[in-house]
């Protein structure tokens, strides 16, 4: 069974031997969040384009968004009701609207499927399925991070997009410790980075880290969660691998992601421990 957010924090803190990483006195004394029934609701919108229908069908049949939502609703108290919507947006994207709604666009899945098939034309349907599921889960937790930053008025001492990626890394590692999900997200950004062939066309101005950077960040967090298991595959000088100089910091990075997000979310847990 998946660990609760509080237990995860304790494990991460023990691993890092950080002092003061556990509950602060203020947190211990603080009243638990007011019990309320606010929650995330999932809504699947019908697409108008027939080619998007299969994504709706698969998302509904797999129930992975419902499963994660059930987990998050069990763990966290929300100040308002919010929703996670799958829909057609006219663009390959996922986003938090700054009010009460997170969205995952069918176009993002369609584009990701197309790109994956170009890279791996001989892969079976099961690998593509896991790849797309990984991207759905990453989008879910990345957008949830934006929602939580705003709804809980959390401090963002750094790049908010990077912080959102790190919540996703933390949650996906807890969900699937072998790193398959996160490795797929890293692969997604490697594929995206392969389109960045003209250095002048790369969106350096964008608030997101560039694709090549996000690819190696996710690789770092896969490796950092279990260095012994992944060293041979993920550390080296081949494309997609981590140079030793970054690799040696990844275990600390992965643990810090978990400890930092765990600490930020602790006051908002439904059950204070
Ligand atoms: Zn974002």
30 pLDDT more than 60: no
Distance 122 CA to ligand 1 centre (A): 32
232 pLDDT more than 70: yes
Mean pLDDT of 241-269: 97
Distance 101 CA to ligand 1 centre (A): 13
pLDDT in the model for residue 8:
53
Question: Confidence class of residue 114 from pLDDT cuts 50, 70 and 90?
Answer: very high
28 pLDDT more than 70: no
Give the number of C-alpha atoms closer than 13 A to the C-alpha of residue 80, restricted to the C-beta side.
11
Distance 181 CA to ligand 1 centre (A): 18
Distance 143 CA to ligand 1 centre (A): 6
Mean pLDDT of 106-131: 97
pLDDT in the model for residue 35:
75
pLDDT in the model for residue 33:
65
Distance 72 CA to ligand 1 centre (A): 19
Distance 91 CA to ligand 1 centre (A): 15
Distance 63 CA to ligand 1 centre (A): 23
Question: Confidence class of residue 158 from pLDDT cuts 50, 70 and 90?
Answer: very high
What lies within 8 Å, CB to CB, of 47 at 6+ separation is 53, 55, 56, 87, 88, 106
Distance 146 CA to ligand 1 centre (A): 7
10 pLDDT more than 60: no
Average pLDDT, the chain: 90
19 pLDDT more than 50: no
pLDDT in the model for residue 25:
42
pLDDT in the model for residue 20:
32
Mean pLDDT of 145-163: 97
Q: Measured between alpha carbons, how far is 241 from 148 in angstroms, rounded to an integer?
A: 32
73 pLDDT more than 60: yes
Mean pLDDT of 220-238: 95
Distance 94 CA to ligand 1 centre (A): 8
pLDDT in the model for residue 2:
74
- The percent of residues in the chain predicted with pLDDT above 70, rounded, is 89
Mean pLDDT of 206-231: 96
Are 210 and 196 in contact by the 8 Å Cβ rule? The answer is: yes
Distance 19 CA to ligand 1 centre (A): 31
Among residues 71, 80, 74, which one has the least CA distance to residue 98? Answer: 80
């Amino acid at each position: 069974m998946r660990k609760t957010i509080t237990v995860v924090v304790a494990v991460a803190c023990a691993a890092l031997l950080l002092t003061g990483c556990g509950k602060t006195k203020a947190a211990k004394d603080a009243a638990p969040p007011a019990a309320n029934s606010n929650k995330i609701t999932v809504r699947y919108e019908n697409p108008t384009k027939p080619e998007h229908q299969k994504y709706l069908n698969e998302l509904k049949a797999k129930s992975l968004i419902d499963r994660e939502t059930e987990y998050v609703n069990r763990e966290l108290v929300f100040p308002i009701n919010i929703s996670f919507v799958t829909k057609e947006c006219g663009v390959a994207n996922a986003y938090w609207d700054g009010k009460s709604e997170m969205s995952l666009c069918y176009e993002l899945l369609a584009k990701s499927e197309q790109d994956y098939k170009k890279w791996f034309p001989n892969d079976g349907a099961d690998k593509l399925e896991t790849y797309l599921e990984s991207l759905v889960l990453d989008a879910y937790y990345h957008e949830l991070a934006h929602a939580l930053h705003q709804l809980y008025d959390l401090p963002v001492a750094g790049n908010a997009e990077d912080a959102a990626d790190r919540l996703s890394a933390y949650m996906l590692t807890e969900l699937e410790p072998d790193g398959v999900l996160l490795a797929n997200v890293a692969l997604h950004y490697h594929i995206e980075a392969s389109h960045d062939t003209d250095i002048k066309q790369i969106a350096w101005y964008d608030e997101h880290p560039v694709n090549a950077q996000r690819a190696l960040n996710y690789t770092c967090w896969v490796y950092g969660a279990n260095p012994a298991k992944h060293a041979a595959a993920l550390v080296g000088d081949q494309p997609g691998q981590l140079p030793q100089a970054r690799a040696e910091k990844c275990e600390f990075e992965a643990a810090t992601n978990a400890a930092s997000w765990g600490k930020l979310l602790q006051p908002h847990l439904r059950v204070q421990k």
